[in-house]
Structure 1
Amino acid sequence: MKTVLIAGFNGSMGQQAVKLVNSMEGFAITAGLAHHLPDSDPTSYGLPASTQLFTSLNEIPAGIADIWLDFTVPTAVYANVKYALTHGYRPVVGTTGLTDDQEVELKKLTQDNHLGGLIASNFGMSAVLLMKFAQEAAKYFPDVEIIEMHHEDKKDAPSGTALNTAKLISKNRPAHQTAPDETESLAGSRGGDYEGIKLHAVRLPGYVAHEQVLFGGAGEALTIRQDSFDRKSFMSGVKVALEQVHTLDQLVVGLEQIL
């Protein structure tokens, strides 16, 4: 039996994760972490009655679970994953907001502690394929911009998926046009900039998670788009990660690395 601690079990994604793990044969939720708990009864969150609940990292004992499944917030994820790796948990991380330097440090911790884990900016299959296709297209259409659209409660901008898309494109991008010097009549109207790739973040009610990658060429254009209409769509990827994390001997970034 593989045991799971879910950090952020009371959030929207956390609740989907609770349902998923409860449905998986050979897996059990033994602990949960949430910094605010209006109700201390685990069953009110769909958790097994025996689940131990914690509101801070220093309350959590080592060995209470095998896997640390994290769907928290960008401000907490680095400390959470660092704690997991130094206390014997294998992390599966769906929370975005980690910097490149933080990922490097966490990768070193996995080596020092002989633990594998996974960080994924997105567990949706359509998003993983969008990133793969965009990276390939960048060889032929180096001039590109990214628009991502999310629900109004998303804590970070741009999304981790959009930023990771830009990183993958940048790795595969040949010489491209240099953006001209621009005068913005409204500051920020051209979006954020990652190595010359403009990223635009939309936050509106009614959206869940959506991304468009727009490539422009001489006399033609290519648009790659993915839409996630329900958070349930991310759970197929989470299931794969939970089933395979014990086979990893290092910290892997990107769901596509284990598919």
Structure 2
Amino acid sequence: MTTQTPIPVVVNGATGKMGREVVKAVAQAPDMTLIGAIDRNPEYIGKDIGEVVGCGALEVPVLNELESTLCMAAQEKQVGVMVDFTHPKSVYNNVRAAIAYGVRVVVGTTGMTPAQIQELAEFADKASTGCLIIPNFSIGMVLLQQAAIQASQYFDHVEIIELHHNQKADAPSGTAIQTAQMLSELGKIYNPPSVEESEKIPGARGSLTEDGIRIHSIRLPGLIAHQEVIFGAPGQVYTLRHDTSDRSCYMPGVLLSIRKVLQLKSLVYGLEKIL
């Protein structure tokens, strides 16, 4: 009886809030092995990532050397996977570097432009290398989005409110943008105007998509990740809301993505595409 070789995993952004959870989840997964932990925080460079995140020594030091770690991952017997939870300013180059080394990528970092995502899709396709870009790893959020698509067939008025912790760098959130994109696929224009609006303070009505959906972003300490999709019609309001109370809720989706990305040869956007 042969046993399958564990999937080698590199976590980029390993000491961040999401990165720490990914490290712990990968360390506990029987079919995965953590081979690299990348982070720019000088406080943790050289320290054992397992001790940093509180799950016991893993004999994997925190490094600030992405390309050398990707090179190591590319030489593993099993195809390696990089999970990226870094920053909108660096994620594009991180993903491109991983694809260049033949390392599969699971991206949780949001904030890339549509043009950047398209460029990465073309690069991944040419390299026949799997890449998953997942704005939100929560199963609950996938269910909310599916319910919103159903509701949008009956409501013409809808707005999105997303609430996150005040250390989130990009706004609106990738999840809110993805939700609006899903609603736009019906090909309708939302929120037909009833009056001529004027903003006394610019931005008071939030951002506006091409098909008329307003997205409002809230950033406060104490929040993690939350989203409301509010539909309105004469005499009724239909509200869909998803609340995150612990980042562990994302880990089943992250582990599923690590397993699924090995089967891909191109870029796929959205958790719903692999469920």
TM-score bucket of the superposed structures, by smaller chain? over 0.9
Q: Is the 8 A contact 2:138 2:253 kept in 1?
A: yes
Are 1:250 and 2:256 an aligned pair? Answer: no
Which residue of 170, 181, 185 maps to 2:184? 170
Runs of 4+ in structure 1 deviating by more than 6 angstroms, as ranges, are none
> Which string of whole-angstrom CA distances, capped at 9 and with x for unpartnered residues, describes residues 178-224 of structure 1?
33542111221101111211110111121111100011123222111
Q: Is the 8 A contact 1:139 1:174 kept in 2?
A: no
Amino acid at match of 2:217: A
1:125 CA drift (Å)? 0.9
Aligned-residue CA RMSD in angstroms? 1.7
**Corresponding residue of 1:51:** 60
**Corresponding residue of 1:185:** 200
Q: How many residues align?
A: 259
Question: In structure 2, do the counterparts of structure 1 residues 78 and 113 end up closer, same or farther at CA, with 3 Å as the change threshold?
Answer: same
Question: In structure 2, do the counterparts of structure 1 residues 162 and 33 end up closer, same or farther at CA, with 3 Å as the change threshold?
Answer: same
Which residue of 71, 74, 87 maps to 1:62? 71
1:51 CA drift (Å)? 2.2
Q: Is the 8 A contact 1:184 1:190 kept in 2?
A: yes
In structure 1, what is the Cα distance between the partners aligned to 2:63 and 2:118? 28
Question: In structure 2, do the counterparts of structure 1 residues 187 and 175 end up closer, same or farther at CA, with 3 Å as the change threshold?
Answer: closer
Which residue of 173, 190, 194 maps to 2:209? 194
1:245 CA drift (Å)? 1.4
Q: Is the 8 A contact 2:70 2:98 kept in 1?
A: no
Q: Is the 8 A contact 1:63 1:88 kept in 2?
A: no
Report matched runs for 1:204-215 at 5 Å: 204-215=220-231
Report matched runs for 1:1-259 at 5 Å: 1-39=6-44, 40-42=46-48, 43-46=50-53, 49-64=58-73, 66-179=80-193, 180-195=195-210, 196-259=212-275
1:45 CA drift (Å)? 2.2
In structure 2, what is the Cα distance between the partners aligned to 1:191 and 1:101? 23
In structure 2, what is the Cα distance between the partners aligned to 1:48 and 1:64? 20
Amino acid at match of 2:8: T
Identity of aligned residues (%): 37
Unaligned 5+ segments in structure 2 are: 1-5, 75-79
Q: Tell me the TM-score normalized by structure 1.
A: 0.94
**Corresponding residue of 2:3:** none
**Corresponding residue of 2:77:** none
